[in-house]
Every structure is written in C-alpha cells, then in structure tokens.
Amino acid sequence: MDEDSVRKRKDMFNGGPATGPTSNMSASHSKPAEEDMKATVLQKEVGLLSGICMIVGTMIGSGIFVSPKAVLLETGAVGPCLCVWAACGVLATLGALCYAELGTMITKSGGEYVYLMEAYGSVMAYLYSWSTIMVLQPSAFAIIALSFAEYTSTPFYPGCTPPIMVTKCLAVVCVFLIVSVNCLSVKLASYVQNFFTAAKLLIILVIVVAGIVLLAQGNTENLSNPFEGASTSFGSIGLAFYNGLWAYDGWNQLNFITEELENPNRNLPLAIIIGIPLVTVCYVLVNIAYFSAMTPTELLQSPAVAVTFGDRVLYPLSWVVPVFVIFSTFGAANGSCFTAGRLTYVAGREGHMVKILSYISLKHLTPSPALIFNGILAVFYIIPADINTLINYFSFAQWAFYGLTALALIVMRFTRKELKRPVKCPMPIAALVVIVSCYLVLAPIIDKPELEYLYCTIFILSGLLLYFPFVHRKFSWTRRVMRPITMHLQLLMEVVPPEKNE
C-alpha cells in the first residue's frame, strides 16, 4: 500500500502522467516526460577527475600538515624517514592495484564488503560491515570534523586553547553541513571535493616551492648526513611503516562508489595510477621542505609542523597555512562522508542493515538515509572526550580486512575463474599485500599487548549475535516491527527502494 503512494509521488517529482481516469494527457506530451525520467538508482556522475580528487582529497587530511613526526620519531633520522614515506606510497599503490582488479571484476559499490561477500560468503561481509559502519567510518569522520573545528576556532582564542564545547559544537556543524551537501546532490558533493582537493594541492605546492628556494639558498645541512643516528631496530621500522601507512589511508575509497563511476573499467585503475603516486610525491616533497627549514629536533617539538614552517618561511603570509589546513580537513571529511554512505547503502540493500538504509531520495537520487545515519553516528562519536584511542585500537582491524580482501583476490583466481578481469594484478603483489597486512595487524599487539585489542575483537565478533537472528533466520516479528517504522521514515524523507537496473 505504501509502495503505490510512493510511486505516485515519484511520477509527480519526475513530471510523469498522473494515474487515474481523469488523466487526459496526450501521448505526445507524456513521451518526453518518460524519456527525461531517471530510474531511481544511483547515477553514474563521477568522472575521472572527480575520481582522482576523491582519492587524493580523502588521503590528504590534516596529518601531513600537523604531525608527520611519528615516522621521524621511529626512524631516528632524515634519510630513513623519507625512505619510509616513499615506501609507504609504493605499498599503498600495490594494495590499490589489487583493488583495481577487484573493482573492475565486481562492479558494485561497497568496497571490501562486496569482495568479502563474493570470496568468503555472507558472515565475513557482515562482520566487516558491522565494525566499519558502526565504528570505523563514523569515528574517522568525527576525528576529521574535530580537526577542522580545532583549526577553525583557534584564531578566535589567541594564546590559549579553544574551549572544548566550542570545538565540539563546530565539529557537529561541520558534520551537518557535509551530510546536507551529500544528500542534496552527488554532483555538488563532487564539486566540493574537487575544489577542496585543488586547495590542498595548492598549499602543498606553496610549501614545496618554498622548500626548493631554501635548498637553493644552501639550507641543506639537515640533508647532508641523512642516515646518521638512524634506528636499526626491526620493531621501530615496523612502527614507522604503521604510522606512515595510516597517513596514506584512503587509497581504497573509489571502490566504495564503483556504481557511480563513469566507465569504471577505465577510470578506476586510471584514477588509482594517477592519484596515489601523486600523493606519494606530495608527501615526500613536503617532508623535504620541512627539513629545509627545521632540524629533526625542531620538527619533533613542533605542535603543528606546517604552521611552524609557515611562520618561519612565509611570514607575513603565514596565516595562509592554517586556512588551507581548514580547507584540507573539510575536503577529507566530505570524501569520508561520501564513501561511508555508499557502504551503508549497499549493506542495507544486501539485507545486512535495516532496509531503509538502502533507499534513495526521489528528488535528489542520493542515498540520503545512509548518509544521515552515518552523520548521526559521527555526532555521537564527537561527544566523548577522546576518540583517537578508539581509532588507534580499531586500526588493526582495518588492516585485517585489507589483508583478507587481498587474499580474496587470490582465492577468486581459483574459485571464480569465469569472472572477467579487465585489469589483472600480478599474484606476487597480492601475496605481498597479504603479508604486509598480517604484519601490521600483529605488530602493535606484539609491541604493546593491551586488553583494548581484545575488546575490539570481541566487539567485531559480537556482530554474530545480531547476524543469526536478524539476517540468517529473519524472524517474522522483526519484519512486523520494522514495517511501520520503515513506511513512516520513507514518507518523511521521500525515499524509495532502488529499482532493478540491470
């Protein structure tokens, strides 16, 4: 009954003919309306440029501007620090090449979720969606929003830290604004991403050019003996890689929106091949620029490295650095929201989340329920005092899923030979990504075994308590409870189930 009323609304929104005996529209008038009418599915509105901006804009957040010192702290010298930054870029590229094969082989949105589903079945995919939708993505969104709020509010409180309430309220406003933009239009969200990616690349260019000028003037003492005092500990080098790869996180974002990508067989691998090496070059050159103006000790003592660099090199225009850091964090938050909504949407479509999350706005053709749900969770994560520890403890789980996804590529070479593979990643690359992922999962636990890792594992496995009654068995009483709730939310938000568009 509710489906009929929603379909009538759809006709009204799209300019279609009114149904009923009083309708006297001529065939000549109804034909153009039918031609203009779009199917209620996510539209292919993300081109190659927007795809590159999605990768670059999500990978480059505030980290490279605020605290690239974690890698230096573990390596102990400039030379190995730069080598680690470059090697992390290579590893991210290798991981993305695995995802390029998977994304062109299985052209569905949802990233790791759909690949784990195809390779291992429903349970593994559900555990991934449970931990990622409920914790990893909304908490990452919240952290980026808090970084944006901190940099935005700092100029209004010179000489002191902004009140925590002001920062949190501003972060909530940031989340609300970004979710609203993404609910209104896919194209608008893509334009926002493109603009802020261009802004962050501009400030990186300014920092790199300033560094080149300093090096040309003879400020090369920090690079003269780059390996002096380097750490040779296997554990510390491993932790340096762990911190470096955290800064590269986001290389898999385009796989979450494959269904909205124009010509994914071409644009997905191209965006990966262009985007990730571009970020790698930016990260290495920015670090070289920092070392042209600061000694390793000064860099380690700086609370915000790019701001210190700006104060020393760009004065009296040093204010541009924090402004562009604000732009950078806002763009990263927008990219995080855009892709997180697609995972929630696909999980709802597959029956692993409530059905309303898989519905699409009639007016805007965006997955607005999934985006709003992700935004609400992000606001909840903004409220606690410190969520950085949450991300740190759950990041080992993220790498576990990366490793399982790379392993899925190897598994499906034998179990799903019939699938077409427009892009084929060499097996040794996939094997290397699996090995690196295993190391990155085990390294923090072996280095500092803490109960929090056990709690995270228990939380992930606790998803099984919901899976068997609500997904596997599908108790009839749950449908009776959810049906009226779904209907009222559907009418309130003016959303409908996606059409089958095969």
CB 224 within 8 A of CB 76: no
Cα separation, 215 vs 232, in Å, equals 28
For helices 264-293 and 305-313, the axis angle rounded to 10 degrees is 60
Cα separation, 388 vs 383, in Å, equals 12
pLDDT digits (tens, 9 = 90+) for 65-85: 876 888 888 888 888 999 999
**What band does 446 get if pLDDT is binned at 50, 70 and 90?**
confident
Is 379 a domain residue? no
Q: What is the pLDDT of residue 387?
A: 55
pLDDT digits (tens, 9 = 90+) for 98-148: 999 999 999 898 989 999 999 999 999 999 999 999 988 898 898 889 888
Is 208 a domain residue? yes
Cα separation, 410 vs 264, in Å, equals 21
Cα separation, 223 vs 287, in Å, equals 11
State how many domains the chain has.
Answer: 1
Q: What is the pLDDT of residue 472?
A: 77
- pTM, two decimals, is 0.84
Is 472 a domain residue? yes
Domain, as residue range, for 74: 52-165+187-335+386-496
Longest CA–CA span in the chain (Å) reads: 87
Q: What is the pLDDT of residue 311?
A: 86
- The mean pLDDT value of the chain amounts to 84
The lowest-confidence range among 200-204, 229-233, 376-380 is 229-233
Mean pLDDT calculated for residue range 456-461: 89
Is 230 a domain residue? yes
Q: What is the pLDDT of residue 37?
A: 53
- Can you tell me whether residue 360 is helix, strand or coil? strand
- Can you tell me whether residue 116 is helix, strand or coil? helix
Mean pLDDT calculated for residue range 13-34: 42
Assign 3-state DSSP to the chain and report helix, strand, coil percentages, each to 5: 75, 0, 25
**What band does 17 get if pLDDT is binned at 50, 70 and 90?**
very low
User: What is the pairing mode between strands 495-496 and 360-361?
Assistant: antiparallel
Whole-number Cα distances in Å, 393 to 306, 400, 445, 451, 459: 27, 12, 9, 10, 12
Is 365 a domain residue? no
Beta bridge partners of 198: none
* CATH number where 70 lies: 1.20.1740.10
Terminal C-alpha separation, the chain: 26
Omega cis (within 30) before 138:
no
Q: Which residue has the tokens 């898999």?
A: 252
CB 62 within 8 A of CB 279: no
Is 20 a domain residue? no
> What percent of the chain shows pLDDT beyond 90?
40
Is 57 a domain residue? yes
Is 43 a domain residue? no
pLDDT digits (tens, 9 = 90+) for 290-301: 999 888 888 888
Mean pLDDT calculated for residue range 330-345: 92
Which of 230 and 51 is assigned the larger pLDDT? 51
